[in-house]
Chain A
Amino acid sequence: GAVVSQHPSRVICKSGTSVKIECRSLDFQATTMFWYRQFPKQSLMLMATSNEGSKATYEQGVEKDKFLINHASLTLSTLTVTSAHPEDSSFYICSAPPGTSAGETQYFGPGTRLLVL
């Protein structure tokens, strides 16, 4: 099946710093990628839709100036958590469908564990 990678897998940073997380589709092109956040024992919450060549679309309640998304190419989307605070500590996961049709399965990255001290 298709593979999606994320980097880094884990990151620890100090409060107030910015952290960049990369999501790559390794063997297919993705015009759209999705970013989720998952707190312990909870489900995945969609944060934003990353669109290649255009601005990201953010879900209600997600600050676009805090979570910067750049879909630099058809295989790479980045999420930058700016001025991170301890409450931003979470598991961040990206996904990408291999096509643009409705009803596509999605391939998920392995996730990035962010801890803000």
Chain B
Amino acid sequence: SQKIEQNSEALNIQEGKTATLTCNYTNYSPAYLQWYRQDPGRGPVFLLLIRENEKEKRKERLKVTFDTTLKQSLFHITASQPADSATYLCALEVTGGGNKLTFGTGTQLKVEL
């Protein structure tokens, strides 16, 4: 069956450290993988998109890697801040999917002082 799994446990890290979140998928061949941030009671906000032929993408303190052999994406936040505390969702889009996104389970990140 198809699955998109993210760290089920909340991730607590200290301010200034790098947070690394994982997204693993099975029985998908995504053309694109996206990461979103969601705050409680709000809609998701787009962060980064990476294509199947790209290994890595960066934007300011954010970095995403995409390994289609391992079927895994890693999402890194460097120099983390308490304001980065939120739930982070990965989402897959397959070729011919008509922009439909399938979301992972989400990982809650808490950055502590």
Contact = CB atoms under 8 A, between A and B. Distances in A.
Contacts of A102: 31-32, 93, 95-97, 99
B91 to A, nearest CB: 8
Contacts of A108: 36, 43-46
A32 interface: yes
A49 to B, nearest CB: 7
Interface residues of A, number: 27
B89 A43 contact: yes
Interface stretch (B56-64, B75-83, B100-108): B100-108
Contacts of B96: 102
A51 B74 CA distance: 33
B72 to A, nearest CB: 18
Interface in B5-48: 31-32, 34, 36, 41-46
B85 to A, nearest CB: 16
Nearest to B104: A43
Interface stretch (A64-72, A73-81, A92-100): A92-100
Interface of A: 1, 4, 6, 32, 34, 42-46, 49, 91, 93, 95, 97, 100, 102-111, 113
Closest 8 CB pairs of A and B: A108-B43, A103-B32, A105-B46, A44-B103, A43-B103, A97-B99, A108-B44, A111-B43
